[in-house]
Structure 1
Amino acid sequence: MQETTMKRLALGLGSLVLVLALLVGIPAALLFLAGNPFPSGDELSRALSTPDYGGEFLVGTLLPLIAWVAWATFALGFLVELPGHIRGIPSPHLPGLGLQQLWAAALIGAIVVMLTGVGALAGSTAGSPASAPASVSVSQSGTGATFGSTQAHGGTGAGSTDSAAVSIDTTVEAAPAAPIAAAPTYVVQPGDSLWRIAEQHLGSGERFAEIAGLNLGVAQGDGHSLTAENWLNAGWVLTLPADAAVPAAPEAATPAEHVVVEGDTLWDLAADAYGDGTRYPEIVAASAAVVQPDGATITDPNLIQPGETVNLPGVGAPTPDAVAGTAAASPVAEGVPVGATIEAASPTVTPAVAAPVDASAGVEANAAGAAAFSHTAPAHTTGGIGAVLAVGLLGLLALRRAGQRGRREFGRRIALPTAEASTLELELRAVENRMGLDDIDHALRYLAVWAEDTGRTLPSIEAIRLADDDITLYLSGTDPLPRPFRTEAVPANVLPANSTTAWTIDRAALPGVERVPQPPYPAFVTLGQDQAGAHILVDLERLGTLGVTGPLELRLGVLTAIAAELATSRRSEIRVTLVGAADDLATALASPRLRHVPDVATLLAHPAGDALAAETPEIVILALAQPLSDRQRAALAARSARLGIVQSGSTARAAAAPDRAPWTLNVDDIGAARLLPVGLSLAPQLLGAAECTRLIELFRSTAAHSVTGPEWARQMGAAGVGGAGSTGTAEAADVGASGAPWIRLLGPVEVIGARGVEPRGTAGGAELFRLPWATELVAFFTVHRTASAVDVQTALWPADLPTGLAAQQNRNALTNETRAWLGDSTDDEPYLPVVGADGLRLHPDVQSDWDVWRQLLGDDVTLTTTATLVSALRLVTGEPLSGLPTNHFVWAEPLREEITGAVLDAADELAARARISGDADSAALAASARGLVEPVPLVEPAALVEPVETR
Structure 2
Amino acid sequence: MIAIIAAPPTALWHFRSAYLPDHLPSMSEVAEWLTSEDTGQVFLLLLVGAGFVAWLQLVIAIALEAVARLRGATVPRLPGFAWAHRIAAALVLCVLTGTAAEAAEPTGDGTPSTHVVIPGDSLTKIAAGELGSAARYQEIYDLNRGARQPDGRSLQNPGLLRPGWVLRLPHDSDCEEVVVRPGQTLTQIAREQLSDARRYREIFDLNRERPQPTGHRLDDPDAIHPGDVLRIPRPPKPAAGGGGAPSAAVFVRGPESCQTTEPPAPPPVPVQPPKPPDVRTPAPLSTAMTPAVEDGSSIALTSVGGVLAAGLLTLLAVRLRRAQRRRRPGYRIRPREPGPLEQALHAAAQPATVGDLDLALRTFAGHHKGDLPRLRAVKIDSEGIRLQLTEASEPSEPFVESGPAEWKLNPSASLDGDDVPPPYPALVSLGHTMNRDLVLIDLREAGVVTLAGGRDAIEAVVLAMAWDLAAAPWAARTRVTLVAVGRMSAERHPGRIRYAAGWDEAIAGLEPQPNRPQVLLSAIPLSEDVTQRLLQCGPDAVVAAHHPDVLLPGAWCLDVRGPRTAVEDLGVDVELQRLSPEQLDELVAALADADDPVEVVADEYRNVPPEESGVPEPLAARGPTVSVRPRPLTPAAPSLLLLGPVRLVGADPQAVEGKKLNRLTELAASLSLDPGVTADEISRRLGTDAQPWSAATRQGYISRLRTWLGRDENDELYVPNVDARHGGYRMAGSFTSDWQAFRDLAQRGLAERECVVEHLQEALELVRGTPFANVPPGRYAWSSWLQREMLDAIVDVAHTLADACQKAGDLVAARRATMRGLLAEPLSELLYRDLLRIEYRAGNHTGVRETADKLTVLAVSLDVELDEETTALVGVLLARRP
Q: TM-score, normalised by structure 1?
A: 0.52
Q: 2-side partners of 1:863 and 1:896: how far apart?
A: 28
Q: Quick check: 1:619 aligned with 2:502?
A: no
Q: 2-side partners of 1:846 and 1:654: how far apart?
A: 74
Q: How does 1:860-875 map to 2 (within 5 A)?
A: 861=750, 864-875=755-766
- Deviations along 1:481-531, one digit per CA (max 9) or x if unpaired, are 125522223xxxxxxxxxx42111243x13142762112211112122333
Q: Any idea what SS the aligned residue of 1:786 has?
A: coil
Q: 2-side partners of 1:533 and 1:932: how far apart?
A: 40
- Specify whether residues 275 and 439 from structure 1 end up closer, same or farther in structure 2 by C-alpha distance, changes over 3 A only: closer
- Specify whether residues 538 and 913 from structure 1 end up closer, same or farther in structure 2 by C-alpha distance, changes over 3 A only: same
AA matched with 1:680: V
**Is contact 1:873-1:929 (8 Å) kept?**
yes
Q: Quick check: 1:643 aligned with 2:540?
A: yes
| Pairing partner for 2:416 from 513, 517, 540 | 513
Q: TM-score, normalised by structure 2?
A: 0.55
- TM-fit CA distance, 1:829: 6.3
- Specify whether residues 694 and 599 from structure 1 end up closer, same or farther in structure 2 by C-alpha distance, changes over 3 A only: same
Q: How does 1:160-239 map to 2 (within 5 A)?
A: none
Q: 2-side partners of 1:267 and 1:839: how far apart?
A: 42
What's the counterpart of residue 483 of structure 2? 579
- TM-fit CA distance, 1:785: 0.9
- Specify whether residues 259 and 578 from structure 1 end up closer, same or farther in structure 2 by C-alpha distance, changes over 3 A only: closer
AA matched with 2:310: V
- TM-fit CA distance, 1:560: 1.1
Q: How does 1:105-504 map to 2 (within 5 A)?
A: 261-264=87-90, 268-270=94-96, 272=98, 276-278=102-104, 281=148, 284-285=151-152, 302=163, 383-417=302-336, 419=337, 421-422=338-339, 424-451=341-368, 455-483=369-397, 485-489=399-403, 500-504=404-408
Q: 2-side partners of 1:914 and 1:737: how far apart?
A: 30
Q: 2-side partners of 1:435 and 1:900: how far apart?
A: 25
- Specify whether residues 282 and 464 from structure 1 end up closer, same or farther in structure 2 by C-alpha distance, changes over 3 A only: closer
| Pairing partner for 2:772 from 872, 881, 898 | 881
**Is contact 1:383-1:687 (8 Å) kept?**
yes
**How large is the RMSD of aligned CA atoms in angstroms?**
4.3
Q: 1-side partners of 2:96 and 2:679: how far apart?
A: 30
Q: Any idea what SS the aligned residue of 2:541 has?
A: strand
Q: How does 1:405-804 map to 2 (within 5 A)?
A: 405-417=324-336, 419=337, 421-422=338-339, 424-451=341-368, 455-483=369-397, 485-489=399-403, 500-507=404-411, 509-513=412-416, 516-570=419-473, 571-588=475-492, 590-606=493-509, 608-609=510-511, 613=513, 615-624=515-524, 627-640=525-538, 643-649=540-546, 658=553, 660=554, 662-664=556-558, 666=560, 668-669=562-563, 672-704=564-596, 706-710=598-602, 733-734=631-632, 737=635, 739-744=637-642, 746-755=643-652, 775-793=665-683, 795=685, 799-800=689-690
- Specify whether residues 674 and 817 from structure 1 end up closer, same or farther in structure 2 by C-alpha distance, changes over 3 A only: farther
- TM-fit CA distance, 1:821: 4.9
**Is contact 2:639-2:649 (8 Å) kept?**
yes
Q: 2-side partners of 1:260 and 1:729: how far apart?
A: 77
Q: 2-side partners of 1:922 and 1:473: how far apart?
A: 55
What's the counterpart of residue 825 of structure 1? 710
- Specify whether residues 947 and 926 from structure 1 end up closer, same or farther in structure 2 by C-alpha distance, changes over 3 A only: closer
Q: 2-side partners of 1:637 and 1:834: how far apart?
A: 74
- Specify whether residues 272 and 694 from structure 1 end up closer, same or farther in structure 2 by C-alpha distance, changes over 3 A only: closer
AA matched with 2:786: L
- TM-fit CA distance, 1:272: 4.1
AA matched with 1:847: T
- Number of matched pairs: 556
- Which range is displaced more, 574-583 or 747-756? 747-756
Q: Any idea what SS the aligned residue of 1:923 has?
A: helix
Identical columns (%):
22
Q: 1-side partners of 2:603 and 2:567: how far apart?
A: 50
- Deviations along 1:346-375, one digit per CA (max 9) or x if unpaired, are xxxxxxxxxxxxxxxxxxxxxxxxxxxxxx
AA matched with 2:356: D
What's the counterpart of residue 700 of structure 2? 816
Q: Any idea what SS the aligned residue of 1:697 has?
A: helix
Structure 1 residues not aligned, in runs of 5+: 1-257, 288-298, 305-376, 490-499, 715-727, 762-767, 801-805
Q: 1-side partners of 2:656 and 2:435: how far apart?
A: 29
- TM-fit CA distance, 1:412: 0.5
Q: Any idea what SS the aligned residue of 2:745 has?
A: helix
What's the counterpart of residue 923 of structure 1? 815
**Is contact 2:429-2:439 (8 Å) kept?**
yes
- Deviations along 1:124-166, one digit per CA (max 9) or x if unpaired, are xxxxxxxxxxxxxxxxxxxxxxxxxxxxxxxxxxxxxxxxxxx
Q: How does 1:63-142 map to 2 (within 5 A)?
A: none
Q: 1-side partners of 2:496 and 2:100: how far apart?
A: 61
**Is contact 1:546-1:647 (8 Å) kept?**
yes
Q: 1-side partners of 2:463 and 2:688: how far apart?
A: 25
- TM-fit CA distance, 1:621: 0.8
**Is contact 1:857-1:864 (8 Å) kept?**
no
